Each structure stands twice: as C-alpha cells, then as structure tokens.
Amino acid sequence: MTELNLLATDLEDDLRAAVRDFLADRCGTAAVTALYDGDRSLVATVQRGIATELGLAGLLVPEERGGTGATAVEAAVVLEELGRAVAPTPFLTSAVIATTVLGHSTHDLVDALAVGESTAALLVPLSTAPRAPLPSVAREDAGLRGSVTSVAGVLESDRLLVPVAADGGIDLHLVATADATVTPVVSLDMTRQLADVELDGVHGELVLTDAEASIRAGLRAGAALLASEQLGVARWCLEATLAHLKERRQFGRVVGGFQALKHRLADLYASVESAAAAARYAAAALAAEDADADVATALAQAYCSDVAVTAAEEAVQLHGGVGMTWEHPAHLYLKRAKADQIALGTPGAHRAALAGMVDLPA
C-alpha cells in the first residue's frame, strides 16, 4: 500500500477557488432551477466555461496528448465544487469516465476531449456499478444494433463510446451521437438529465478490442470521484442550514439555539467530515494507482451516497416551510443527492462488493 498524502496543497486550494468563483458568477441557483422549466441554456455556458475557459476538460489527460497531466485528486476538487453548485455539466461523464476509458487507446479523440473540442459519453446506464455486468449492443452486418436506457451525458455529447459484444469479450466502438436515436428522459435530477439511446444499423469505428478492463476502469474512476461530488452537495446543505438557523428567530429566540437542533447539526457535521475523509482517500488511492483503490472506491461510494441524501433531507426539514418551496434551492440538492445515490452502483451494491474485497463473512 502506498503512503498517501490526504492534505490539500496550495495548487488544489487555487484550483478550488477558481472553480468556485466561476460557478458563483455563471451558475446561480435561479438559473439551475430554470432547467426544470426546459431552459437548458445554462448547460452550454457551464460546459464551455469548465472545459475551455478554465481548461479543465483535460485534467486526466497527459500533457503530451494535450491535457494538463493532473490526477484524480485535482479532478476530485473540481467535482466537489460542481456538486456544491449542483452545476449542470458533463464533466463526470466525459472528462472523467469517457476520458479514462479512452485513455487506454491511441485514438485522437482523447486529444479533442482534452481541449474541450469534443464531449463523449460511455453508453451504459448511469446506474452501472464498476463490478456489475456490462451491457452491450450487438454487431450485425448492417451495423450496430441495440438500445440502452437512462444514460447520462448523452445530451451534451457529440461522440458515444459503445460497448459491443464480441467473441469472448467486449469491444469498444465510437459512434457519432447524431447517428443514434436519442430520447431525453424526464429525470428526477434535471441538472444531469438522462436519455435513452437506440442504435439501428449504425456504423461505428472500432476503438478498442477486449475493452472490458478499460470500461471498468472508467466506471471505477467515475464512482471514486462521484463521492467528491456528493461531498460537495452535503457541504452546501450543512453550510446553508447552519447559516439559516443562525438567523431564523422563533418565540423571540434564534432557532439555532435550541438544543435538539444543535445535536442534529453536530451529527451532520461529523458525518460530512467523515465523508470528506472517505472521498479524499478514494481520490488519492486512485491517483496513486494504489492496491487499495477498489476498497477505497467502494467505501467512499457506500458512505458518501447516504451522507449526501441525509444532508439534503436535513436541509429541507431544518429550513422549515421555506425549504419545501420551489423558490428555495434545497430541492435542487435533494434531487441531485437522490439521483447520485443510485449512480454507478447503489450503496448496498458497493457494501456487498466491499465485503467480498475485505473477506467480511456474510
């Protein structure tokens, strides 16, 4: 096991400040709420800003291929801030999952992804866990044929990475999104809207043969770093609720002075700090290609998923009536937390995987 540094560096602090300032300027909660009314103009703004203005699309791409040669630790910082702002961007699906999958190839799409010229999505349901059976479409004489439901990142992509059943394994084909039939789905979390995709005789370009290990590596990177996004959701909920309870008065007293609410906030604070440790460890283990990376990923996902939901539920309840309204942003965080809870594997699936990895008796 590698000795991992879990303390934030000055570079990470600067990166966090840059992303937070950008999102505060371009991604206000009122604009995010408009997504639920069908206005998706914010998506392109945030996507362009993150990918090209801040140059973060190529974080995980080596410098010699046009990226910045950073690691999962820096990507985790970005995702924590994206979660803190419930930002609608395909960073997780393209810059993390698709880029990691394609990183095992020499295809020049990696260079295009690195500079934000292209955006890609892996054609699997968002709920697919790193160790779960992988779906795939069929290859026929007429082309690729099959359908995949509830895929994230498709609506923002121009390329699809398609797992295709092959003799004894899975190949990876590249398909233009415009050649597929894409049906947007009304999703619980419209900041990461899902879509159903059908391929009907589409001709794809073979990118990787025997690609199962590459696909699972992409899903593992996504699951490990999704924990940081969930941490960002939980942190905003805790901070916003604490600020509200310090100001809200009832019966002539500040509401936050009631002992019962202090206990709830203290419990939530302890959970969020524990989630920060789990998410940080998963990112550091992934960056170091540590032998403990699988364990750290399963642990972080199993824990951070539930903490994010708990924090969002506490935020809605402790904001009282205003927390239940459409105008207050608490609902955005609750929807993101609930959707993330089943993304890339449920907490139960990750706990079951973790039990096997650490030889925990059933």
Residue 348 pLDDT more than 80?
yes
Q: Among 262, 260, 257, 296, which Cα is nearest to 280's?
A: 296
What is the spatial distance between Cα 277 and Cα 270, in angstroms, rounded to a whole number? Answer: 11
**pLDDT given at position 101:** 97
Question: What is the mean pLDDT of the segment spanning 7-33?
Answer: 96
**pLDDT given at position 362:** 65
**pLDDT given at position 96:** 98
What is the spatial distance between Cα 7 and Cα 29, in angstroms, rounded to a whole number? Answer: 30
Give pLDDT tens digits for 160-182: 999 999 988 999 999 999 999 99
First-to-last C-alpha distance (Å) of the chain: 26
Residue 136 pLDDT more than 90?
no
Q: pLDDT band for 1, please (50, 70, 90 cuts).
A: low
Give pLDDT tens digits for 248-294: 998 899 999 999 999 999 999 999 999 999 999 999 999 999 999 99
Question: What is the mean pLDDT of the segment spanning 18-29?
Answer: 97
Give pLDDT tens digits for 217-253: 999 999 999 999 999 999 999 999 999 999 999 889 9
Q: Among 39, 26, 163, which Cα is nearest to 87's?
A: 26
What is the spatial distance between Cα 52 and Cα 116, in angstroms, rounded to a whole number? Answer: 6
What is the spatial distance between Cα 81 and Cα 18, in angstroms, rounded to a whole number? Answer: 10
**For the chain, what is the largest distance between any 2 Cα atoms, rounded to a whole number of angstroms?**
76
**pLDDT given at position 282:** 98
Listed in sequence order, the DSSP H helices in 208-361 are: 212-247, 259-287, 293-318, 330-341, 347-357
Residue 190 pLDDT more than 70?
yes
**What is the overall mean pLDDT for the chain?**
95
Amino acid, res. 161: L
Report which secondary-structure segment, H or E, holds 170.
strand 169-176
Residue 361 pLDDT more than 80?
no
Q: pLDDT band for 355, please (50, 70, 90 cuts).
A: very high
